[in-house]
Amino acid sequence: MKAVILAGGSGTRLWPVSRYGLPKQFIKLNGGKSLLCQTVERLAAVVPLKDIFVITNEDYRFHVQEDLRSVSPAIADNVILEPVGRNTAPAIALVMKYCQEKLKCGKDEVIFICPSDHIIEPVEKFAAYAAQAEAAAKAGGIVTFGIKPSRPETGYGYIRKGSSQGGGVFKVARFAEKPDLKTAEGYLKAGDHYWNSGMFSFTIGTMLSEFKAYAPEISRRMSSSFTRMVSEFKTMPSISIDYAVMEKSKKSSVLPMSILWSDVGSWDSLHEVVKPNASGNVNIGDVLALDTQNTTVYGGKRLISAVGVKDLIIIDTEDALLVVKKGQAQRVKEVVDALKERKRKEVVEHTTTYRPWGSYTILEEGPRYKIKRIVVKPNQKLSHQLHYHRSEHWIIVKGAAKVTIGKKASMIHENESTYVPKSTSHRLENPGRVPLEMIEVQNGEYTGEDDIVRFGDIYGRGAKGKK
Amino acid sequence: MKAVILAGGSGTRLWPVSRYGLPKQFIKLNGGKSLLCQTVERLAAVVPLKDIFVITNEDYRFHVQEDLRSVSPAIADNVILEPVGRNTAPAIALVMKYCQEKLKCGKDEVIFICPSDHIIEPVEKFAAYAAQAEAAAKAGGIVTFGIKPSRPETGYGYIRKGSSQGGGVFKVARFAEKPDLKTAEGYLKAGDHYWNSGMFSFTIGTMLSEFKAYAPEISRRMSSSFTRMVSEFKTMPSISIDYAVMEKSKKSSVLPMSILWSDVGSWDSLHEVVKPNASGNVNIGDVLALDTQNTTVYGGKRLISAVGVKDLIIIDTEDALLVVKKGQAQRVKEVVDALKERKRKEVVEHTTTYRPWGSYTILEEGPRYKIKRIVVKPNQKLSHQLHYHRSEHWIIVKGAAKVTIGKKASMIHENESTYVPKSTSHRLENPGRVPLEMIEVQNGEYTGEDDIVRFGDIYGRGAKGKK
Q: What is A353-456's CATH superfamily?
A: Jelly Rolls (2.60.120.10)
pTM equals 0.90
- Residue A5's contacts (CB-CB under 8 Å, 6 or more residues apart) are A36, A39, A40, A43, A52, A53, A54, A55, A114, A115, A116
Per-position b or e across A210-235, b if 16+ CB within 10 A of its CB:
bbeebbeebbebbeeebeebbeebee
Sort out which chain A residues have CB atoms less than 8 A from B299's CB and list them: 321
How far apart are alpha carbons A220 and B173 in whole angstroms?
98
pLDDT at B466: 54
State the number of CA atoms in the 13 A half-sphere of B416 facing the CB. 12
Phi, then psi, of B449 in degrees rounded to 5: -65, -20
Tens of pLDDT, residues A175-196: 999 999 999 999 999 999 999 9
- Interhelix angle for A61-71 vs A35-43, to 10°? 50
- Per-residue CA distances from B200 to A87, A254, B42, B120, B132 (Å): 75, 82, 15, 15, 12
CA dihedral A94, A95, A97, A101 (to 10 degrees): 130
From the centroid of its chain, how far is CA B309?
A: 33
Question: Quick count: other Cβ atoms within 10 Å of Cβ B123?
Answer: 16
Nearest-CB residue to B325 (from A308, A319, A364): A308
Question: Quick count: other Cβ atoms within 10 Å of Cβ B443?
Answer: 24
pLDDT at B272: 81
DSSP symbols for A186-200:
HHHHHS-EEEEEEEE
Tens of pLDDT, residues B152-187: 999 899 999 999 999 999 999 999 999 999 999 999
Cβ–Cβ under 8 Å, residues A307 and B332: yes
Please list the residues that pair with A439 across neighbouring strands. Answer: A373, A395
pLDDT at A463: 65
Q: Is the predicted pLDDT of residue A467 greater than 60, yes or no?
A: no
pLDDT at B273: 81
Q: Is the predicted pLDDT of residue B464 greater than 70, yes or no?
A: no
Residues in A 384-423 with any Cβ partner in B closer than 8 A: 391, 393, 395, 397-398, 414-415, 417, 419
pLDDT at B216: 96
Q: Do A398 and B309 touch (CB under 8 A)?
A: no
- Interhelix angle for A204-214 vs A88-101, to 10°? 140
The mean of the pLDDT values for chain B is 94
Phi, then psi, of A446 in degrees rounded to 5: -150, 125
DSSP symbols for A72-119:
-GGGTT-EEEESS---HHHHHHHHHHHHHHTS---TT-EEEEEESS-E
A257 and chain B in contact, CB less than 8 A: no
Q: DSSP 3-state assignment of B264?
A: coil
**CATH class of residue range A2-262:** alpha beta
CA-closest candidate to residue A9, choices A117, A136, A161? A117
Cβ–Cβ under 8 Å, residues A90 and A181: no
Nearest-CB residue to B312 (from A321, A323, A393): A323
Cβ–Cβ under 8 Å, residues B405 and B424: yes
Q: DSSP 3-state assignment of B193?
A: strand
Q: Quick one: B311 exposed, middle or buried, by C-beta within 10 A (0-12, 13-18, 19+)?
A: middle
How far apart are alpha carbons B327 and B269 in whole angstroms?
9
Sort out which chain A residues have CB atoms less than 8 A from B360's CB and list them: none
How far apart are alpha carbons A398 and B443 in whole angstroms?
9
| Weakest mean pLDDT among A103-107, A335-339, A419-423, A447-451 | A447-451
State the DSSP H helix or E strand holding residue A316, giving kind and residue range, or none if neither.
strand A312-316
Mean pLDDT, range B104-121, rounded to an integer: 97
SS3 content of chain B, % helix, strand, coil (to 5): 25, 35, 35
pLDDT at A461: 77
Mean pLDDT, range A79-84, rounded to an integer: 94
Sort out which chain B residues have CB atoms less than 8 A from A323's CB and list them: 304-307, 309, 312, 314, 323
The mean of the pLDDT values for chain A is 94
Listed by start position, the domains of chain B span: 2-262, 276-341, 352-456
CATH number of this structure's domain B352-456, picked from the four choices 3.40.630.10, 2.60.120.10, 3.30.70.2660, 1.10.340.30: 2.60.120.10
A127 and chain B in contact, CB less than 8 A: no
From the centroid of its chain, how far is CA A134?
A: 25
With a pLDDT cut of 90, the percent of chain A lying above it is 88
Its ipTM equals 0.89
How far apart are alpha carbons A209 and B353 in whole angstroms?
70
Mean pLDDT, range A420-431, rounded to an integer: 95
Cβ–Cβ under 8 Å, residues B305 and B295: no
